[in-house]
Each structure stands twice: as structure tokens, then as C-alpha cells.
Chains A and B, each alone.
Chain A
Amino acid sequence: MKAAAFEYVRPKSLAEAVGILSEATGDAQVDAQVMAGGQSLVAMMNLRVAAPDLLIDIARLDELRAVSETSDHVVLGACVTHAAIEDGLVPDPSRGLMPDVASNLAYRAVRTRGTLGGSLALSDPAADWPTVMAALAAQVILRGPGGERSVDAVDFATGVYETVRGADEIIESVHIPKLSPRARWGYAKFCRKSGEFANSIAAAVRDPDRDYARVVLGAVNGPPIVLQRTSSLLRAGNGGDCQQAIAEDLRGLDFDDFQASLHAAMASRSVRQVLT
């Protein structure tokens, strides 16, 4: 199918982009969409499932591709591509986790255009970055007409394709705490179809020097879930017996037998990777 007609604008600054977006969302007649890599959005537009009146192209804004690094944080602009992370072209706060995740995400031709911010903004429950950013305790920086605000990644998604981002806000960057040299991570993903969104994702991180550990489950048909008991166990360095904790963390959640088994398997594999 061919996309329905729309107007296209390429603002020259983030402030201008925010201005255009807030004007459009204020004027209820204009359905405006922000486009970065477009890998999900344009596919939806070509199916006429999405038909915005106005497309605001932010892919080339230098402000959104900027990266910076301090002693304990890396800041990645929202339009940093998956390929840039995969190729190590930007600083890596995660000691190899993020490049590993990036290299297994979709396909190269998608990774060269798709962005970190775009993935978080869309919040497809089966996407990788929401789960990984939650596991790293990252923060999402939003820019709106009223200024900047920061939201913990773990709280960013509220449902399937739903986030706390206001209609007039644009993701500006992601602040990711650096893992210490002794930190370890684990990542396990189950995809029914190669390169497509996953059916189960588990990311586990343990950073003893910061007394931090978190195990996050994604592709759960909602926002990523922090497995609290499993995380506590891992923090204490006792992940070896995590099956029980995982089972408890999954109890009461709405999964069929197969999904429950998958999630348990991915969670325990990710924990095992941390410990071995």
C-alpha cells in the first residue's frame, strides 16, 4: 500500500520541533507524528494503519545525536542509531551489553536507521531497548514546551505502545549509569521469527561495586517487569538458586503455560550468564 498524504517538516532545532509539535497537538485537528528512523512508523504508514497529517522529521537534529560521557554516566542522544551502538561508535556504559543487544536487533538495514529514542517512544512491548534501559536503571530525558524532565526508564512505559511521554514532548536523550569494571550482565531473548520482535526477553545486570542488581523481563504484553525477588537474590550474589524466586516473581501474572515457561527460561538464562 502507499501511505496516505501528509505534510512534512524538518525542524532545524529541538526547540523548533517541540514548538511545532505542541502547536499541532494543541490544535486538535492536526495529527502530528515525530519521525526519527521511521522503521516502525513508515511501515505502519505504508499499511495505512497510521496516517498522520503532519510528519516532523527529527532524524538529523545534531542535538539529538549528541553523545557525552562523564565518569559515571553516558548520555546518548535520542537519535543515536542501533548500528552506531552495535559498531561501538558511541561510548558504551554497559560493558558490552548494549552493543550485543544492538547486534541482535532486527536486521542491519533496520539498525542503520532505527534509533534508541524511537524504540523507547514507541514502546513496543517486544522491543529490546525498553527492557535493557530498565535493567541499566537509565533515565529518559524528555523535552516539552515547559522544558526538560527526567523519567526513570523502568517507569517510562505504562502499557502496550503507551508511555508517560506527553503528546507535546520529544525524547531528547537517555542517561545511562556506567557499569563498574567488575559488573556482569546477562541477556536472553526468544524470537519465534528471526529478526522480529521477541516473545520473551530477559536482561540481568549485577554491579556489586554499586550494590546494584536488577533482572528485567520484557515482551510481557505490557511494560517491562522488574523481577524483584530475583533481583534481590542476584544483588546478594545468590542467583544460583533463582528458579524459585523467578517462579514467585511470575506468579499471578497473566501468562499461558508456554509463555510462563519461556519467561522463566529466559530469566534464568540471563541470571546464569551473570553468575558464570
Chain B
Amino acid sequence: MHGPSDTGFGVGASLLRKEDARHLHGRGQFVSDVKLANTHDVAFVRSPHAHARIKGIVLPPDADGRVFTARDLPRLAEMRAVPQVNGFKVSGYPPLATQKVRYVGDAIAACIAPTRAEAEDLASSVSVDFEVLPAIIDAVDALTKTPSLVHESWANNLFIERVFQEGNLDEVARTAEVVVRRTYRMNRHVAVPLEGRAVLAYRDHRLDELVVYTSTQVPHIIRLGLSEVLGLEERNIRVIAPDVGGGFGSKIFIYPEEVVCLWASKKVRRPVKWVSDRTEAFLADAHGRDHVTDAEMAFDADHRITAIKAKTVANLGAYMSTFSSSVPTYLYATLLSGQYDVPQIYCEVDAVYTNTVPVDAYRGAGRPEATFVVERLVEVAARELGVDPAELRRKNFIKQFPHQTPVIMNYDAGDYLASLKKALELADHKGFAKRKRESERHGKLRGIGLSTYIEACGIAPSQAVGSLGAGVGLWESAEVRVNPTGSVEVLTGSHSHGQGHETTFAQLVSERLGIPIENIAIVHGDTDKVQFGMGSYGSRSGAVGMSAIVKALDKVEAKAKKVASHLLEAAESDIVFKDGKFTVAGTDKSAAWGEVSLHAYIAHKFTGAQLEPGLKEGAFYDPTNFTFPAGCHVCEVEIDPETGITSIAHWTAVDDFGTVVNPMIVEGQVHGGIAQGIGQAMLENAIYSGDGQLVTSSLMDYTMPRANDLPSFTVGTTMTFCPGNPLGIKGCGEAGAIASPAAVINAITDAIGSEELAMPATPQAVWAAIEKHKLSHKAA
């Protein structure tokens, strides 16, 4: 168990980041900053139609050896995502379209030229003859109307129909005191990391490797995927993820551009580079969310929730993307209990194909959708029952742990009353009525909304997800290499793209080994250096990545003690290691870390038969359970009814993340997540026209949160130790995005006095809700 560190560099310290130095001086190295002689650039010809048959492709006369289509790629080259849930129908995803294009943006040809501008000129001179087909855009339509199939070998557009169920809900519905029924839409979202995706591929002849620099969160998974798609050995591919400018999930997947660039660099015998432009990012990066849910929550006479029922249609886009099968299923349905003690839950998910950009995990991946449904229903129910929303929640909170929910998840530890209480205090909930009167005096509306969320992360116990149908294991790896001089390198399978692992992981090692933080290097992002890792997403780098480091450190400490026992001529069991020093218990005989590490390598104090030289240990850590961060967010809004302009007056977040390694970094993660959740709730929306054109395909149309759209966030924590991993970490990367949309909509509907409000709650939507409410009150 760890408390705040007193060295100032260990677990619990808000240590400033090592990464900052290079970024503050413009010396970061993102993929597009890497320069190699003779590199040529790639521009893709992309489909302008949502659904069409390719009748012919006419290349310009000078295209020879510079324009490639599916015909040029190896015949078997097709991305096939491994389904993560039993029962998914897999669609093949050709890196360059074969007979059909299935969404606007679908790549058809790769054009290679000395500069990107010239590659685009070449692309614009490629002419494709299409037979346009009817397109299906809306997920509900994909289920019910099928003018044409997205994938012709199937009977319908259904990816999967999956049911999670516990209990007899018809009985419950009949006997319930109150049943609240609503339909909620989670609007389609685009991740928009500020650095678009980028790939630089070339052949290293000396090492007999194809090297791919790519802006990814999962270098080893990319290597595995590329080896499968292109029929290459993993050991002949090196994937390097240098500095990555944000990911938020959108960079976890294997994408066509990586496959094509790798293949093309072999073909044209020179380095080949592709840097996404922003419009391309909208059309070719996986989108997020896009659920429609019909939900019910039943209550008994004591206002206890007796059942939750949800039927969700999830739009997965035109092809199955790498992790898309997990997002609307075991990352969503299994969280429908929320923080509440609910005896019966039924959830049915239909995931469908449509002629839109493929949808996959995006910050929160399924849990924001679950939280939104549950927290909106609770709020609405509170109004119908005439109960204070906080009180209704308190009454229903789980209070005993561990708690087995009806939907697979077993919550290990938590204290939801504590985070609610602290959040309401920090938010000065008591003073709200007065602030509301003040707003009203100025002709403004004011509202307050809660979101008590829980999520499952620290992804994930391999056997558990395997039994659900996952195709991969979700452990993490770490190798701790001690150098003879005592400095340490830690090779981790986790990957940092803003989370500060080079700092936080080093804090862990510094505290454990008692060595200065400057003597520790964290190595990540290169498959030639780190043997294998599962990468960073699902808030797992702390809970799983750091746990692997702890396991490796345990082994290092054990081996070091053996070396020390020879050095100090004492029994191994008498050696105590503390604060970087090895001592013989009960004596003043000691050896410093640096001495012991040196002796491990010069091996003068022991024979090879007694002990192997060297001090380097690796570990793979497989979580025993998901972890369950939870907390309470409070959003307070003020609305100008004349224009619908809604400003967030205050935002308070209190989260229980278990052990916090670096409070400053954790806060930063919460801030970023809240901003994205507010974007979801109020600003961002990926809009398709009826014929499948992505209307919001630039930053001019897609509304990103700006500094003057947001307040400064107030963030606090409560703590229950996570019993599932050695450090007690729950994870924090996604929580802000998971909690926030419900808090925003709860606050706005509170201000207006009506619930008729869809996301995003733009000024127009808010104004319309206010007008509608005024009319219905006049009529009443």
C-alpha cells in the first residue's frame, strides 16, 4: 500500500514530466518529423460514394509504377479483425477496395510521388468508373430496411446479435411501481487527435527488416497485423511509434494505410511516407459512439431499482475494425448496473454494418454509452418519483464489496457514498439554489446535474475475455535491465502518447529501488527493443503496465539479494533491501545498489554454478479482474434562453482511482476526458447526409471544444485500494469522458425543466427545447 512519497520522486508525487523538455522546445519527434533520404509521399484516391461497384479504374499515362490498386497487392492481403466476442460475423477489409467501395473515404488507389502535392496531383488524375448503389447510413435503418447489403455474402447487415441477461424481466415490469422508459442516442464522434495518423515505411537491408514508423498506440499489435495481412514473418517487421500526438483510441487499430505503405516501400524500393491530412482523418480514422438505445428502469415502492432493460443498436460502419466487436458488447452491456445494486438486467445489442466510416473504440469505448443510459434514467426517474436525484442514487448505491452484478462484472472495491459526498461539497451543491435565483434575476436559466459513473478498465484478464470470445490476451510485459553502474532501463509494452509514462513509470522504479530518477530510462514504442506488448488503451497502462513492472522488480530484487548475500557473505534470508541499500539484518554491514549491480556483472564473488551473472528480469502480468474506477461529476450550467447559448459555470469531478502514482498527471487525464465528454454533449457531431456524405469533414464544420467553451475544472479524489493488482491502481485515462456527457445533459434538462434534448446540445437544440417546454406549459 502506498501513501504520498516523502522522497518527492516516488509513487504519489506530482513529479514534473521528463517528456516536457523536448516538446516545449519543438524537439518532439513525430512520424512526419522523421526524415529519410529518397522518401516519396503517398496520396490515396478515396471513394466519393458511400456505396458503389467499381466498374473500372483508368490510370493516367504517366502512372506506371506510381499508382497501385488492389490488383497490385498480394491476392490474400485483407485485414480480418479477430472477433472479440462470440458470434460476430467477420467482414474482410481490403486495404485497397476490390470490387466495391463501402463508405465515402474508402481507399481505392495509392499514388506515389516525390512530394505530397505531386502525389495529390497524380491522385486527381486517376479516374474511377462507379456504378452507384443505394447506401444505408442509419443504424436502425440497417436493421429494418435493406435496399442493399453492405457485405453481399451475408443475409443481412447484422454483425452480431448478442444478449446479456440475468433475471426474468417481464415479471419485474408487471409488478414495478414505476417504470421509466426512454430512448437515447449517443451521437457519432470523431477522435480528432491533433496529430493525424502518419506512416513511414522503408527497408533496412542490413537487419533484413521492413521498418514502419507509425503513429500508433499499439506497435506490437500493428506488427502482428501487418505480418498476417502481408504474409511476412513478425521478426522481419519493425514497428516504431515515436512521439505520438494523441490517440484516444483511434490509433489502436490496424489501418489500410499502414498495410499499403509497407507493401509499397518494398515495391518501389524506397522509403514511402503517408501523412494524413485533416479531411482524410475525418474520412479514414475510425469513428466512435453512434448508439441508439431503448432503455427501461423499474422501481419498487421504496424507490429501489428492480431491473434495467436496454436494447441497443450500434452502428459499426462499413467494415469490422480491430476492436469494434468488443465496444458495444462486453465494454458496454456489462456496465449497465452502474453504481447501483440492481438484481436484474437485460441487454440486447444489435451491431450493424452501414455505409459509413468504420466505428471502433474511442475514449471510454462503450462505458460512456452505458453511463449515459443509466445516469439519464436515474435522473429522469428522480423527477418522476419526486425524489432528490442525489438521494435516489444514495438509496440504490452498492454498499458491500465485492459485488457481483447481473452482467458479468464483479466489482471489487468502492465507496460511492464517499465520492458523491465529496463532489457535492466541492461543488457547493447547497449554494446552488441561491446561484439559481441570481441567474434568474439576470434573465438566465441555471441547472445542476450529476453523473455517478463506474467503469471497467485495466483491460483485461485474458481468460475472462477469452471466454467471452476475445481473440487476444490482454496482459502486459515489462523487462527491467540493470546496468553494471546501477542505472536502469525499463522496457515496457505500454505506450505513451501524452500520458507521461516516461515520468510515472520511472517514479515507480525510483521508489522501489531507491535510485535517483535521472538514472532510470523508460523504453517503449519499438518492437525491436520491447519483445511484445499489448499497448495502451482501456486505461490499462497503470493497472496492467505498471503491475508488470512491479513483477519484474520483484524478480530483480530477489536476484539482487542473492548477489548481495555473496558480496556481504551472509545468508540470503538475512539480507534486507531498503532505500537503495542492502544490509545484513542486525549488523551494520551494507552494500549500496550500485555496488551490488556492479558485482552482478563482474561476478567475482560467486561461481557460475552458484548464481548466474547479470541483473535483468522480465515479467508478463495478466490482470485477475477488471478494475473499477468510479466517482461523481457535477456540472452546473447557465443558459441564455433567447439564444440557447449554454455556458458551463462550474465543473466538479471526484474520482476514486485507487492508488494514484502522479496526482498531477492523473488530474490532467481527467481534465482532457471531461473536455471530450463536454464536446460530445454540446458541440461535436459527425453528421452524414442521406446519401452517405460526411458533412462534417473538416474542423470548420466539426465543432471542437476551445478554451473559451470550457471552465477550469475542479478535481478531487477519494480512494479505495484496488485489491486486484500489487499497486492498487484502478486507472484514470478514460473516466472523464465516461462520466461527463450525462452530467451535462442532466444539468441542461434541469435548467430547462424538460428532458426533450438530444446530443449535442447545441444552442439551437437547447433553444428549441426551451421553446417546446414553454408551449407545453402554456397548453397545460
Is the pair B116, A261 in contact by a Cβ cutoff of 8 Å? no
In the complex, per-residue mask of B638-654: 1 if CB is within 8 Å of any chain A CB, else 0: 00001111000000000
Is the pair A2, B708 in contact by a Cβ cutoff of 8 Å? no
Give A173-232 interface residues, CB cut-off 8 Å to B: 190, 192-196
Q: Pick the contact of A5 from B121, B645, B708, B767 — CB < 8 Å? A: B121
Residues in B neighbouring A190, C-beta threshold 8 A: 643, 645, 763
- B120 in the interface (beta carbon within 8 A): yes
Is the pair B120, A193 in contact by a Cβ cutoff of 8 Å? no
- A24 in the interface (beta carbon within 8 A): no
User: In whole angstroms, how far apart are the Cα atoms of A2 and B279 in the complex?
Assistant: 12
Known: A47-B279, A192-B762. A1 touches B642 (CB 8 A): no
CB distance from B754 to the nearest CB of A (A): 17
- B117 in the interface (beta carbon within 8 A): yes
- A30 in the interface (beta carbon within 8 A): no
CB distance from A191 to the nearest CB of B (A): 9
Is the pair B700, A261 in contact by a Cβ cutoff of 8 Å? no
Q: Pick the contact of B771 from A4, A47, A257 — CB < 8 Å? A: A257
Q: Pick the contact of A192 from B117, B279, B642, B763 — CB < 8 Å? A: B763
Is the pair A3, B642 in contact by a Cβ cutoff of 8 Å? no
CB distance from B77 to the nearest CB of A (A): 27
Residues in A neighbouring B714, C-beta threshold 8 A: none
Residues in B neighbouring A2, C-beta threshold 8 A: 115-117, 120
Chain B: residues with Cβ within 8 Å of the partner, total of 25
Residues in B neighbouring A47, C-beta threshold 8 A: 279, 698
Q: Pick the contact of A1 from B277, B643, B700, B706 — CB < 8 Å? A: B277
User: In whole angstroms, how far apart are the Cα atoms of A212 and B771 in the complex?
Assistant: 37
Is the pair B120, A1 in contact by a Cβ cutoff of 8 Å? yes
Residues in A neighbouring B700, C-beta threshold 8 A: 196
Is the pair B120, A194 in contact by a Cβ cutoff of 8 Å? no
Residues in A neighbouring B117, C-beta threshold 8 A: 2-3, 5
Is the pair A195, B706 in contact by a Cβ cutoff of 8 Å? yes
- B426 in the interface (beta carbon within 8 A): no
* Identity of the chain A residue whose Cβ is nearest the Cβ of B119 in the assembled complex: A2
CB distance from B120 to the nearest CB of A (A): 6
In the complex, per-residue mask of B548-566: 1 if CB is within 8 Å of any chain A CB, else 0: 0000000000000000000
User: In whole angstroms, how far apart are the Cα atoms of A164 and B683 in the complex?
Assistant: 37
CB distance from A103 to the nearest CB of B (A): 14
* Identity of the chain A residue whose Cβ is nearest the Cβ of B705 in the assembled complex: A194
Q: Pick the contact of B708 from A48, A192, A194, A262 — CB < 8 Å? A: A194
* Identity of the chain A residue whose Cβ is nearest the Cβ of B768 in the assembled complex: A258
Known: A2-B117, A2-B120, A261-B642. A194 touches B279 (CB 8 A): no
- A265 in the interface (beta carbon within 8 A): yes
Q: How large is the interface on A (under 10, 10 to 19, 20 to 34, 35 or more residues)?
A: 10 to 19
* Identity of the chain B residue whose Cβ is nearest the Cβ of A190 in the assembled complex: B643
User: In whole angstroms, how far apart are the Cα atoms of A44 and B768 in the complex?
Assistant: 33
- B709 in the interface (beta carbon within 8 A): yes
Known: A3-B117, A4-B121, A47-B279. A194 touches B706 (CB 8 A): yes
User: In whole angstroms, how far apart are the Cα atoms of A47 and B279 in the complex?
Assistant: 8
User: In whole angstroms, how far apart are the Cα atoms of A195 and B704 in the complex?
Assistant: 12
User: In whole angstroms, how far apart are the Cα atoms of A262 and B698 in the complex?
Assistant: 26
Between A and B, how many residue pairs show CB distances below 8 Å?
44
In the complex, per-residue mask of B13-43: 1 if CB is within 8 Å of any chain A CB, else 0: 0000000000000000000000000000000
- B148 in the interface (beta carbon within 8 A): no
Known: A1-B120, A192-B703, A258-B768. A265 touches B698 (CB 8 A): no
Residues in A neighbouring B764, C-beta threshold 8 A: 192, 258
Q: Is the interface of B mostly helix, strand, loop or mixed?
A: helix
CB distance from A261 to the nearest CB of B (A): 7
User: In whole angstroms, how far apart are the Cα atoms of A194 and B708 in the complex?
Assistant: 7
User: In whole angstroms, how far apart are the Cα atoms of A4 and B645 in the complex?
Assistant: 40
Interface centre among A3, A193, A194, A262 (most CB of B within 10 A): A193
CB distance from A207 to the nearest CB of B (A): 28
User: In whole angstroms, how far apart are the Cα atoms of A196 and B120 in the complex?
Assistant: 28
Residues in A neighbouring B642, C-beta threshold 8 A: 261, 265
Give B311-359 interface residues, CB cut-off 8 Å to A: none
Is the pair A261, B767 in contact by a Cβ cutoff of 8 Å? yes
In the complex, per-residue mask of B116-133: 1 if CB is within 8 Å of any chain A CB, else 0: 110011001000000000
Residues in B neighbouring A257, C-beta threshold 8 A: 768, 771
Residues in B neighbouring A1, C-beta threshold 8 A: 120, 277, 279
CB distance from A105 to the nearest CB of B (A): 14
User: In whole angstroms, how far apart are the Cα atoms of A194 and B699 in the complex?
Assistant: 12
CB distance from A276 to the nearest CB of B (A): 15
User: In whole angstroms, how far apart are the Cα atoms of A47 and B277 in the complex?
Assistant: 10
CB distance from B623 to the nearest CB of A (A): 42
* Identity of the chain B residue whose Cβ is nearest the Cβ of A194 in the assembled complex: B706
In the complex, per-residue mask of A40-53: 1 if CB is within 8 Å of any chain B CB, else 0: 00000001100000
Q: Pick the contact of A262 from B124, B643, B683 — CB < 8 Å? A: B643
Residues in B neighbouring A258, C-beta threshold 8 A: 644, 764, 767-768
CB distance from A266 to the nearest CB of B (A): 8
User: In whole angstroms, how far apart are the Cα atoms of A258 and B642 in the complex?
Assistant: 10
Is the pair B703, A193 in contact by a Cβ cutoff of 8 Å? yes
In the complex, per-residue mask of A1-31: 1 if CB is within 8 Å of any chain B CB, else 0: 1111100000000000000000000000000
User: In whole angstroms, how far apart are the Cα atoms of A45 and B764 in the complex?
Assistant: 31
CB distance from B123 to the nearest CB of A (A): 10
CB distance from A6 to the nearest CB of B (A): 11
Is the pair A194, B709 in contact by a Cβ cutoff of 8 Å? yes
User: In whole angstroms, how far apart are the Cα atoms of A1 and B124 in the complex?
Assistant: 12
User: In whole angstroms, how far apart are the Cα atoms of A258 and B768 in the complex?
Assistant: 7
Residues in A neighbouring B279, C-beta threshold 8 A: 1, 47
User: In whole angstroms, how far apart are the Cα atoms of A239 and B763 in the complex?
Assistant: 27
Residues in A neighbouring B767, C-beta threshold 8 A: 258, 261
User: In whole angstroms, how far apart are the Cα atoms of A48 and B123 in the complex?
Assistant: 13
CB distance from A83 to the nearest CB of B (A): 19
* Identity of the chain A residue whose Cβ is nearest the Cβ of B697 in the assembled complex: A47
Residues in A neighbouring B115, C-beta threshold 8 A: 2
CB distance from A44 to the nearest CB of B (A): 10
CB distance from B431 to the nearest CB of A (A): 29
* Identity of the chain B residue whose Cβ is nearest the Cβ of A188 in the assembled complex: B643
Residues in A neighbouring B771, C-beta threshold 8 A: 257
Residues in A neighbouring B698, C-beta threshold 8 A: 47
User: In whole angstroms, how far apart are the Cα atoms of A142 and B642 in the complex?
Assistant: 40
In the complex, per-residue mask of A246-266: 1 if CB is within 8 Å of any chain B CB, else 0: 000000000001100110010
Besides the known contacts A1-B120, A258-B764, A262-B643, 14 further A-B residue pairs in the complex with CB atoms under 8 A apart: A2-B116, A5-B117, A5-B121, A47-B279, A47-B698, A190-B763, A192-B703, A193-B683, A193-B703, A194-B706, A194-B709, A258-B644, A258-B767, A261-B643
Residues on B facing A (Cβ under 8 Å): 115-117, 120-121, 124, 277, 279, 642-645, 683, 698, 700, 703, 706, 708-709, 762-764, 767-768, 771
Which 10 pairs of residues, A with B, have the shortest CB-CB distance? A2-B117, A265-B642, A194-B706, A258-B764, A193-B703, A1-B277, A194-B708, A2-B116, A2-B120, A190-B643
11 A-B contacts (beta carbon < 8 Å):
A1-B277, A2-B115, A2-B117, A3-B117, A4-B124, A47-B279, A190-B643, A192-B763, A193-B683, A258-B644, A261-B767
